[in-house]
């Protein structure tokens, strides 16, 4: 109920647009068909996490002026998790605990990705993607997703702050 009020603030409106861009791109079929991301709740969550990481890293470049938007973007993620859990029938008493768990998992992924992208090669990043997106054991193409992340970072960094605050975020194609 309060998400409606938050979404009316400038950072909330910006975050809603950015989060929409993130989810739309994370649902592109090329990730699932060509990239082998499992079309499961875990695979979709992992792919949204990758896109959240990329977006938050771009916003982080803005320093202090980006912090409120980053916080609102994380709130948009948590609201979406809450909505989706309720939609699939998870009981009201369990949803807050599951949302908290999803938020903690996202924070873990973000911190791990930050360390991995700083590494000189893609081994650590590929290993993380295999664990977080491809859910260990699934065949997929984590190296190809790592290459996408490497391409996406400069693509996002080239986007202006004005475009971001307008709520638009453009990702390169996965191919």
DSSP codes joined into one string, 106-138: HHHHHHHHHHHHTSSSSHHHHHHHHHHTSTTTS
- What is the model's pLDDT at position 138? 56
- What is the model's pLDDT at position 81? 78
pLDDT band (50, 70, 90) for residue 10: confident
| 161: pLDDT strictly greater than 60 | yes
Helix (H, G, I), strand (E, B) or coil at 173: coil
- What is the model's pLDDT at position 5? 46
pLDDT over 70 for what percent of the chain? 89
Our CA angle for 5, 84, 167, nearest 5°, is 50
| 88: pLDDT strictly greater than 70 | no
Section 61-88 average pLDDT: 87
| 58: pLDDT strictly greater than 70 | yes
Cα separation, 169 vs 58, in Å, equals 10
107 vs 95, residue with greater confidence? 107
Query: Which run of H or of E encompasses 145?
Result: helix 142-157
Helix (H, G, I), strand (E, B) or coil at 11: helix
| 66: pLDDT strictly greater than 90 | yes
pLDDT band (50, 70, 90) for residue 150: very high
Cα separation, 152 vs 56, in Å, equals 12
**Contact predicate 26/54, CB 8 Å:** no
Cα separation, 36 vs 112, in Å, equals 22
Which span out of 17-21, 85-89, 136-140 was modeled with the highest average pLDDT? 17-21
Section 32-39 average pLDDT: 92
Please state the φ and ψ torsions of residue 36, each to the nearest 5 degrees. 75, 15
Our CA angle for 83, 3, 92, nearest 5°, is 40
């Amino acid at each position: 109920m309060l998400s409606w009020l938050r979404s009316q603030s400038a950072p909330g409106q910006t975050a809603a647009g950015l989060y929409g861009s993130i989810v739309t791109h994370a649902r592109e079929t090329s990730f699932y068909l060509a990239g082998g991301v499992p079309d499961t709740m875990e695979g979709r969550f992992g792919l949204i996490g990758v896109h959240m990481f990329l977006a938050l890293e771009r916003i982080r470049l803005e320093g202090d002026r980006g912090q409120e938007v980053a916080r609102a973007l994380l709130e948009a993620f948590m609201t979406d998790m809450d909505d989706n859990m309720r939609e699939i029938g998870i009981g009201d008493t369990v949803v807050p605990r599951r949302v908290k768990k999803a938020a903690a998992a996202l924070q873990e992924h973000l911190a791990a990705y930050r360390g991995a992208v700083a590494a000189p090669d893609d081994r650590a990043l590929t290993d993380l993607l295999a664990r977080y997106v491809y859910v260990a054991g699934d065949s997929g193409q984590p190296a190809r997703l790592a290459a996408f992340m490497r391409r996406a970072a400069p693509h996002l960094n080239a986007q202006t702050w004005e475009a971001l605050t307008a709520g638009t975020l453009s990702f390169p194609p996965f191919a």
